[in-house]
Structure 1
Amino acid sequence: MATQQTFDSDSEDEMPPGWEERVTTDGKVYYANHETKKTQWFHPVTGKKKAVKGELPYGWERNVTDDGTVFYVDHINQKTTYTDPRLAFAQEVKENPLDFRQKFDASSTALQVLMGRDLSGKYALITGANSGIGFETARSLALHGATVVMACRDLEAAECGRAAILAELAQAKVEVMHVDLASLKSVKALVDQYIQKGWPLHILILNAAVFGVGFSVTEDGLERTFQVNHLAHFYLTRLLVNVLMESAPARVVVVSSESHRMSTLTEHDLVVDRISPPKPGNFWHFDAYNNSKLCNVLFANELNCRLSPHGVVANSLHPGNMMSSGLPRHWWLYRLLFALVRPFTKSMQQGASTTVYCAVADELSNVGGLYFNNCCRCPPSKAASSKSMGTTLWSLSERLLDKREKQRVS
């Protein structure tokens, strides 16, 4: 049986004697003084004005007796209360809608970000969800009612991940689908299968990536790191764009990295004969990874410009530094290095927090084209902020895909 995590209470928000915190049906928090028989909208100690989300937490139901008494049932933990459970997750009302200051930071977990949320009816597709940050992202969303599709290359590992989630919450909705991002044909097959299901898509999380791989060319004639980390995700999004728009409001979350700041990629490099593929003698896997992470931010920004008028927003993020995930699996030296720094880095739950924040935060429902770190907005590199470079990368990606689609048809 799943249990919901809770934050420690903030002592300054505790109610003085004689006061009670209540909430209206539309989510506005107010305060009642039993001695004076008066009510007010502001906290009697802090002066904060608060509100709660419209939905009840996952697993809760609101009931009304014949005499009009309202009570709440927690079906997961088999409990009943007269207190609206949304009050536990009340948030301060901010005057500036672009003020992203919040209670989440580097130590926050994905489950803490999701506390009190009911994602029933939401569909999320996550690439690379069989391990690490991707798995914790999938697990966290599924434990809060979302239907989660784990799109993975390793089906056996994905099925094990699915079984682990169901063991934690039997009623979780988790599906496994195969995709190999090193094959554009496989990406197309995934999308065909998804569309055939007739499902909507509210959250698309582009999480999968490779790191530390030597020079190699995929079956599509493209350098592997560039294809897996950027172009295949670009293709996946392009094929799902109609589903996303039909499901709007929807979000695309692109997992990038702070290493995008070390990219040597320039707009001059974004031509077919320079990037598709580079010459083996000029290849350095770390540079290839940094370049692909810059492409992630550029892609998210340009995607947001094109789709936000249609109700689909896109943001990119950095999950954390050198976490003990499967990312360094391709070279023993990286595995050793990542293992040595493990006590000083984030857990996988903490690493998934910014991804989940970008996927569900109410304040980002109509806001995109931003880059996040530790659940907070931060400026990306100068190159990543270049509108010209973003449109050039988009054009290059379209040309590469169109060329291969024509080759497949012929």
Structure 2
Amino acid sequence: MATTRQAFDSDSEDEMPPGWEERVTTDGKVYYANHESKKTQWFHPVTGKKKTVKGELPYGWERNVADDGTVFYVDHINQKTTYTDPRLAFAEEVKDSPLDFRQKFDANSTALQVLMGRDLSEKYVLITGANSGIGFETARSLALHGATVVMACRDIASAKQARAAILNELSKAKVEIMHVDLASLASVKMLADKYIQNGWPLHILILNAGVFGVGFSVTEDNLEKTFQVNHLAHFYLTRLLVHVLMASAPARVVVVSSESHRMSSLSEQDLVVERVSPPKASSFWHFDAYNNSKLCNILFANELNCRLMPHGVVANSLHPGNMMSSGLARHWWLYRLIFALVRPFTKSMQQGASTTVYCAVAEELSNVGGLYFNNCCRCPPSKPTFSKSMATALWSLSEKLLDRRERQREL
């Protein structure tokens, strides 16, 4: 094959040699036509590899057939017509294994680049904390590609501004707003009940919202705020919507964690009700609480994937980026200052949303879960995340806390 590449003098091994044309069948199989020999083949004439594309056209495109049988494609958004199937721009090599990941994106990639060519018009997405920062760019990017995006936010006024910004960019975008305060389990229950009452499917659940740098604070549910907002409320929301997810399968749960999980001091012995409720101010340090909650995110995603994968639902976790200029640092002036100083050296919000979006829509992850991603690439998390017993202990603790709270409300 090296001789073949040299003979064609191509700058890229994937570039087509003279006289060849790349085409695609209606069911997504890529084939190659040689205009000189008038023959076709399934293998790339240079690499010898097979390729395929998914059956969907990019959002806004339509396939038409002329009276003489000629197939052409119309881009209604950009008002363009072409005879080349637009799916060819996103053709991928056929993999030998579902775990055969070829990195296509990196730290510089944006969410919109990850979504390029995708039509999500049949998908329903629920995102917590979607009114600002990474959550907003995630919601915006998915909505611009046709998804019905439900923004679950505590600040409704801010959410309305975010929705207006998306509609100003694409007037036919489908964006809904629902209220939730993750510091209140009753509020989480109200969100889930309303979502179910609306009769919507749920193809992608993105657990994005979180708090950082919060001093010791006890919620109305008698739990420490960082633990409840970053982990337990999302666990509860998923539990309440699990039947909707399974009925909508294939579906995905995307859990936004952080590289901070590597600094967690959490042990399996800590995952008992007596250590968590009532919370103790004497043993609290906000940075440690955040790190522990991020470890919980990965443990939860891994265990959730084990339980739901047989039902067509996969779960993955991710790190969006380091010290980005989001609202995460809003609770202490010192963190706001530090985050502002490092802003020129960190990702933009669009880049920060890329890994979330990748986990939400990447075709190669359609049947793969229980993994951790950074910069749109699979990477190994810390050793405790591989502990099945620790994940089970966290799951049991979460169930007990929620069951106890539900019994208290019934009294």
User: What is the TM-score with the length of structure 1 in the denominator?
Assistant: 0.96
* Partner Cα separation in structure 2 for residue 357 and residue 155 of structure 1: 27
Aligned residue in 2 for 1:180 = 181
Identity %: 87
Matches for 1:364-375 after TM superposition, within 5 Å: 364-375=365-376
Q: CA deviation at 1:15?
A: 2.2
For 2:292, give the aligned amino acid.
N
Q: Which residue of 2 aligns with 1:56?
A: 57
- Write out aligned runs for 1:64-213 (5 A): 64-213=65-214
User: Separation in 2 of the partners of 1:315 and 1:270?
Assistant: 22
Deviation at 1:88, TM superposition (A): 1.2
Amino acid at match of 1:176: I
Q: Structure 2: any 5+ residue segments left out of the alignment?
A: 1-10
Counterpart mapping for 1:223-262 below 5 A: 223-262=224-263
2:377 aligned residue: 376
Amino acid at match of 1:194: Y
SS at match of 1:384: helix
**CA offsets, 1:241-300, max 9 Å, x none?**
111111111100000001111100000011112122431121100000000000000101
Structure 1 distance, partners of 2:387, 2:296, is 11
Residue 11 (structure 1) shift: 4.4
Other-structure match for 2:4 = none
Per the alignment, residue 341 of structure 2 pairs with 340
**Alignment partner of 1:119: what SS?**
coil
Tell me, what secondary structure is at the counterpart of 1:54? coil
Structure 2: which amino acid aligns with 1:88? A
After superposition, the C-alpha distances for 1:210-244 in whole angstroms (9 at most, x for unaligned) are 00000010011100000000000000000001111
Q: Matched residue of 2:73: which SS?
A: strand
Matched residue, 1:6: none
Look up the match of 1:386.
387
1:25 CA displacement: 1.1
Counterpart AA for 1:160: Q
Partners of 1:277 and 1:40 lie apart in 2 by: 68
In structure 2, how many angstroms separate the alpha carbons of the residues matched to 1:277 and 1:61?
58
Look up the match of 2:8: none
SS in 2 for 1:129: coil
Conserved 8 A contact 2:124-2:148: yes
Q: How many residues align?
A: 401
CA distance in 2, matches of 1:197, 1:383: 39
Structure 2 CA distance for partners of 1:153 and 1:74, relative to 1, 3 Å: same
Task: Note the aligned Cα RMSD (angstroms).
Answer: 1.1
Q: CA deviation at 1:97?
A: 2.0
AA of the residue aligned to 1:89: F
Amino acid at match of 2:255: V
Per the alignment, residue 274 of structure 1 pairs with: 275
Mapped to 2, the partners of 1:236 and 1:97 lie a distance apart of 29
What amino acid is the match of 2:357?
Answer: V
The code of the aligned residue for 1:35 comes to E
Aligned amino acid, residue 107 of structure 1: N
Query: What secondary structure, in the 3-state scheme, does the structure 2 residue paired with 1:383 have?
Result: helix
Give the Å deviation of 1:12.
4.1
Q: Is the 8 A contact 2:123 2:147 kept in 1?
A: yes
Q: Distance in 2 between matches of 1:87 and 1:65?
A: 21
2:52 is aligned with what amino acid? Answer: A
Partner amino acid for 2:256? Answer: V
TM-score when normalising by structure 2: 0.96
Query: Which letter maps to 1:341?
Result: V
